Amino acid sequence: MRKPMHSITELHINKLLFLLLVLFTVSLGYLMKELLDTDKLVYTFLLERVSVDQFDEMMSRKKSMNWLGLVITPALLFVKISIMSAVLWTGCFFFDKRISYKSLFNIAVKAEFIFLLVIIVKIIWFYFFFTEYSFEDIQYFYPLSVLNIVGYERLEPWYIYPLQVLNLFEFIYWMLLIYLLAKELNIKPDKVFNIVAGSYGVGLLIWVIAVMFFTINFS
């Protein structure tokens, strides 16, 4: 049985958008690694915390597994976007809104592009402005977040991630989800807020609490 043409086109668009997202993410990650010399920072960070033998062993493993980065990045993005699409689909189901999973995947991929700006801002900030930095500075820096206002130095470890999540890019991500979903459902954006808040919002809250719990137990 022949598939509908619009379904095939939607699938192709989703694949193309996802490939572009992966390409930009990998490229920006490589650019940040080269411009900010993050490998050197990681080496310095590890040497201060492990023995020389442990360090040599870790570096040997890293060299033999460099290729994994090209596999892990698209895999993690695919898992994240798939989960996001499933969460939104669940929200739409409970609010009695009919929409295909492919359409939700398309929405999730488009919204994910906003987080590329985080990498770009981070590169610009450390390359041009804050040029004396450590591994922790790069690790904990999240542009336009509450964490950047209060600083991470005196915080307990389990407070860091929640304060990173409270940022302008996360807010824009919410707005994009609401706008794109409202456009797909052909309803007003204010009617979609409850769907996003009741699905993604609740899921994000659970995830943040889980990260805090594991940080407390393993720190």
CB within 8 Å of 3: residues ≥ 6 apart: none
Q: What is the structure's pLDDT at 2? A: 47
Q: Are 84 and 108 in contact (CB under 8 A)?
A: yes
Alpha carbons 43 and 103: distance in angstroms, whole number: 43
Name residue 199's beta-bridge partners.
none
Q: Give pTM, 2 decimals.
A: 0.85
The pair of structure tokens assigned to 105 is 């995947």
The pair of structure tokens assigned to 210 is 């889980």
Could you tell me the residue ranges of all domains in the chain? 5-218
Going residue by residue through the chain (219 aa), what tens digit of pLDDT does each one get?
A: 445 545 557 678 888 999 999 999 999 998 998 899 887 777 777 766 666 666 666 666 666 566 666 778 899 999 999 999 999 999 999 999 999 999 999 999 999 999 999 999 999 999 999 888 888 888 889 999 999 988 888 888 888 999 999 999 999 999 999 999 999 999 888 889 999 999 999 999 999 999 888 888 776
Q: What is the structure's pLDDT at 40? A: 78
DSSP state of 2: P
CB atoms within 10 A of CB 69: 12
Alpha carbons 200 and 165: distance in angstroms, whole number: 13
End-to-end Cα separation, the chain, in angstroms: 56
- Rounded to 5°, the CA angle 202-205-209 comes to 140
DSSP state of 4: P
Residue with tokens 């609010």: 95
Q: Where are the beta strands (DSSP E) in the chain?
A: none
C-alpha dist (Å) from residue 33 to 39, 47, 107, 123, 152: 7, 19, 29, 9, 22
The pair of structure tokens assigned to 87 is 């969460």
Alpha carbons 189 and 27: distance in angstroms, whole number: 34
Q: What is the structure's pLDDT at 154? A: 83
